[in-house]
Structure 1
Amino acid sequence: MHVSLQSQLVLYPLTIRQDKKHYIVEESLSGDFFEMPKVCIDAIHLINKGDSLELIEQELKSQYPEEEVDLVVFANQLMELGLIKEIDGEMIQVTKNNQSPNGFLWLSPRIGRFIFNKVTTKLFMAIMLINIMLVFLNPQLLPTYQDVFLFEAMTFNILTFMGVSLILIMIHEFGHILAVRSYGLPAKLEVGHRLFFVVFQTDLSPAWKLSPKRRNMLYAAGICCDQLMILIAFSIKLSFPEGNEILTGIVGVAILDICIKTIYQCCFYMKTDIYYLCENITGCYNLMENGKEYLSKWIPFIKQDSTTETFEEEAKFVRMYGLFYMCGVLFTVGLFIIYFIPQALYAYSQTLPELLHPVGNPYFWDAVVFLGQSLIMVSLLLYSWNKSNTSRTY
């Protein structure tokens, strides 16, 4: 539909909140959030008064002489975002599916506030410092790769590691859910991916309803739970150095798993919890998307995202992150090629011949379980990739 300076627009109901540098605009029908500068917010207010785009453009040019004001371009952007309801009295046909989280409403906000509040925030910081001190005083607490091999049968080792890892992942994600519910907001747990890695993740999009300071705890809640769990594991290992081998072995697996996840969180060239904390603290939202947009000028295979915009004051952070992102991806791909692929080839070369054993042979079932676990991980990764591509084309 054609938009001109004489056009008058009717927008869908929008909720506007001031953020660190700009404003967060929420479209309640779709549950989408957008970041916009003040000039755009003023334009929206004038549109809602019923003024023509020509009058609005004249007024904004007088208010913002240093800004490049083009209301026709802005109106087309609003149309792409699905925020325009009518143009010159003619309805815009837009299908809006609200994909906002609506789960865990049964979980009382009181429970979330009991776990995450001003007092416990300081307590979690103290726990993190205690963990660092314990490792410094007791270097034997640091895990080794042998910790995962508790049993002679690889099947038992895999099942133990998967079971411990799954429990710790659920505790991590439940930390996010409790933090979200502490503000009475809904949450959703889903399967996602970071490059080649399958992950569970909590949809924290309702966090945009909160102030930046309050959002920090939502993003850090999972790491806080990890620190609490590793403190418990450290305490058990120090209290029972010669205790039950199975118990201390499982504790060792837990320590190894949390340490791996902590290192992973620091790789915030992927969208980890620390990435979102970095975004929130700097106020540079869409940091990854804008970083990829910056890199796409020189690297053609990186896809551009035309729905994001880099504001002038963010350009320095975006350039730095873009270079960090590229180095991180190259490092991960290199690690995958040099370490994970040879490791996988070795594991399969040792496992596949075991399928030739009779069905009653334990080595046969050891191979079956190992291959079954591999199939589950590949299926989850393909599901996550497919879901990501589907949502991108919607």
Structure 2
Amino acid sequence: MNLSLQSQLTLYPLTIREDKKHYIVEESFSGDFFEMPKICIDAINLINKSFTLDQVEQQLKPHYPEEEVNLVEFAEQLVELGLVQEIDGEEVQVTKNNDSPKGFTWLSPKVGQFFFNKVTTKLFMAIIILNILLVIINPQLLPAYHDLFIFDAMTFNILTFMGISLLLIIIHEFGHILAVRSHGLPAKLDVGHRLLFVVFQTDLSTAWKLSSKQRNVLYLAGICFDQLMILIAFILKLSFPEASSLFIGILGVVVLDIFIKTVYQCCFYMKTDIYYLCENLTGCYNLMENGRQYLSKWLPFIKSDFTTETFEDEAKFVRMYSVFYICGVLLTFSIFIIYFIPQVYYAYSQTLPELLHPGGNPYFWDAVVFLGQTILMGSLLIYSWHKSNTSRTY
């Protein structure tokens, strides 16, 4: 279907909202969102008034003398994005999938508003500050790698850690879900991965329906619930220092798990909650793509899969993000060296020798089950990686 300056377009119904720097355009049926500058919004408004591309172009040029106004090229982009319904009365064949979240609508918005409102958001910020002060005053609250090992049997250690970690992940994600539902929007829970860890993740795409300030709460909601959990663990450890070793051990696993997950939130080379918060605060919604593009010029081993446009005034944020990107990589290596590698070494040094002593030895079967757990977690990770790579295939 050929486009020319004499062409007249009919667009699908669009919802347009002004954002920090530009505009967010929502295609109602598919639930897709796009960021566009004001010149594009003006063009869309004129197209919706049934002007031809030539008429739209002539009206825009006097208002944007420094811009290259090419309506045919813009119309082609709209077609590629699936926003054009008809060209000169002829229907454009496009397959639309409505993948927007539809879940958790059974959860009343009032429940979400109970946890996330003007008072509680300030309270959560106070909790974060309190946790930092508690660690400064009581450095022994910081976790050590051996906090993972409560029992002599490695199977029990891993099962305990997996159970506690799963429970904390669910609490974290329900923070996001409750924040989303507080605005009456649907949510969706999915499975993903962060480096070597299988994780649940909440689809926050509906957040684009909200203002920038409201989106900040949605991105921080999971971390807020994490900090509440670690505050409870800190208080219990300080209040009952003479409690049973099992009780103190479980609290140690809680602190270790949340601490490592909180550190990973600061690894900006992954799209973590804090990364999305930084995108939202700066109004630069391709920070990672632009940052990798910028870094690839200086560091050849960093590959950029996308070519994106950096809007005006975004360059300084991209350069700043690039620094945090490198710091995040170094932070990850630090966590691996301080926690993960010693844990793996200790776990396998304790279990593998037991495989040489089969029979009635319970630690032999502990080693067998532990290796089975390792294979299971590896399989879940491979599935998550495969799913992630498949979703990138167009």
Whole-Å separation in 2 of the counterparts to 1:236 and 1:156? 23
Whole-Å separation in 1 of the counterparts to 2:368 and 2:252? 26
1:36 matched residue in structure 2: 36
Residue pairs, 1:370-385, within 5 angstroms: 370-385=370-385
Whole-Å separation in 2 of the counterparts to 1:337 and 1:213? 37
2:265 matched residue in structure 1: 265
In the alignment, residue 228 of structure 1 is paired with which amino acid?
L
2:358 matched residue in structure 1: 358
1:124 matched residue in structure 2: 124
C-alpha spacing 1:296/1:30, structure 2 compared with 1 (3 Å): farther
Residue pairs, 1:209-228, within 5 angstroms: 209-228=209-228
1:300-347 Cα deviation digits (max 9, x unpaired) = 7613324x4321121221233235425534764697699857865775
In the alignment, residue 134 of structure 1 is paired with which amino acid?
L
More deviation in 367-376 or 181-190? 367-376
Q: Helix, strand or coil for the counterpart of 2:313?
A: helix
C-alpha spacing 1:36/1:158, structure 2 compared with 1 (3 Å): same
In the alignment, residue 25 of structure 1 is paired with which amino acid?
V
1:240 matched residue in structure 2: 240
1:54-87 Cα deviation digits (max 9, x unpaired) = 1111111111101121112111211221111122
1:165-186 Cα deviation digits (max 9, x unpaired) = 1111111111111100000111
Whole-Å separation in 2 of the counterparts to 1:355 and 1:69? 72
Aligned length: 393
C-alpha spacing 1:279/1:301, structure 2 compared with 1 (3 Å): closer
Q: How far off is 1:203 after superposition?
A: 0.7
1:160 matched residue in structure 2: 160
1:253 matched residue in structure 2: 253
C-alpha spacing 1:135/1:323, structure 2 compared with 1 (3 Å): closer
2:64 matched residue in structure 1: 64
| TM-score calculated relative to the size of structure 1 | 0.92
1:52 matched residue in structure 2: 52
Q: Are 1:191 and 1:380, in contact at CA under 8 Å, matched by a contact in 2? A: no
2:77 matched residue in structure 1: 77
2:102 matched residue in structure 1: 102
Q: Are 1:12 and 1:27, in contact at CA under 8 Å, matched by a contact in 2? A: yes
Unaligned runs of 5+ residues in structure 2 are none
1:109-144 Cα deviation digits (max 9, x unpaired) = 111000110011111112122222222222222222
C-alpha spacing 1:388/1:116, structure 2 compared with 1 (3 Å): same
1:140 matched residue in structure 2: 140
Q: Are 1:230 and 1:254, in contact at CA under 8 Å, matched by a contact in 2? A: yes
Q: Are 1:150 and 1:249, in contact at CA under 8 Å, matched by a contact in 2? A: yes
Whole-Å separation in 1 of the counterparts to 2:265 and 2:97? 32
Q: How far off is 1:104 after superposition?
A: 0.7
Stretches of 4+ aligned residues off by more than 6 angstroms: none
1:270-289 Cα deviation digits (max 9, x unpaired) = 11111111111111112112
C-alpha spacing 1:320/1:126, structure 2 compared with 1 (3 Å): closer
Whole-Å separation in 1 of the counterparts to 2:368 and 2:86? 60
Q: How far off is 1:193 after superposition?
A: 2.0
1:112 aligns with 2:89: no
Unaligned runs of 5+ residues in structure 1 are none
C-alpha spacing 1:230/1:324, structure 2 compared with 1 (3 Å): closer
Whole-Å separation in 1 of the counterparts to 2:338 and 2:252? 26
Q: Are 1:296 and 1:304, in contact at CA under 8 Å, matched by a contact in 2? A: no
Q: Are 2:104 and 2:187, in contact at CA under 8 Å, matched by a contact in 1? A: yes
Whole-Å separation in 2 of the counterparts to 1:359 and 1:273? 48
Whole-Å separation in 1 of the counterparts to 2:184 and 2:233? 32
Whole-Å separation in 2 of the counterparts to 1:37 and 1:378? 44
Whole-Å separation in 2 of the counterparts to 1:333 and 1:233? 27
Q: Helix, strand or coil for the counterpart of 2:5?
A: coil
1:204 aligns with 2:204: yes
Q: How far off is 1:242 after superposition?
A: 0.5
C-alpha spacing 1:238/1:348, structure 2 compared with 1 (3 Å): closer
Whole-Å separation in 1 of the counterparts to 2:59 and 2:93? 30
Q: Helix, strand or coil for the counterpart of 1:65?
A: coil
Q: How far off is 1:40 after superposition?
A: 0.2
1:19 matched residue in structure 2: 19
Q: Helix, strand or coil for the counterpart of 1:20?
A: coil
Whole-Å separation in 1 of the counterparts to 2:197 and 2:35? 29
In the alignment, residue 39 of structure 2 is paired with which amino acid?
V
2:303 matched residue in structure 1: 302
Q: Helix, strand or coil for the counterpart of 1:25?
A: strand
Whole-Å separation in 2 of the counterparts to 1:247 and 1:257? 16
Residue pairs, 1:319-358, within 5 angstroms: 319-326=319-326, 328-329=328-329, 332=332, 344=344, 347-348=347-348, 351-352=351-352, 354-358=354-358
C-alpha spacing 1:236/1:331, structure 2 compared with 1 (3 Å): closer
Q: How far off is 1:226 after superposition?
A: 1.0
Q: Are 2:268 and 2:324, in contact at CA under 8 Å, matched by a contact in 1? A: no
Q: Helix, strand or coil for the counterpart of 1:393?
A: coil
In the alignment, residue 221 of structure 1 is paired with which amino acid?
A
Alignment RMSD? 2.3
Q: Are 2:267 and 2:332, in contact at CA under 8 Å, matched by a contact in 1? A: no
More deviation in 104-113 or 254-263? 254-263
Whole-Å separation in 2 of the counterparts to 1:234 and 1:350? 30
Whole-Å separation in 1 of the counterparts to 2:137 and 2:192? 37
Q: How far off is 1:247 after superposition?
A: 0.9
1:81-117 Cα deviation digits (max 9, x unpaired) = 1111122222221111111111111111111000110
2:6 matched residue in structure 1: 6
Q: Are 2:145 and 2:343, in contact at CA under 8 Å, matched by a contact in 1? A: no
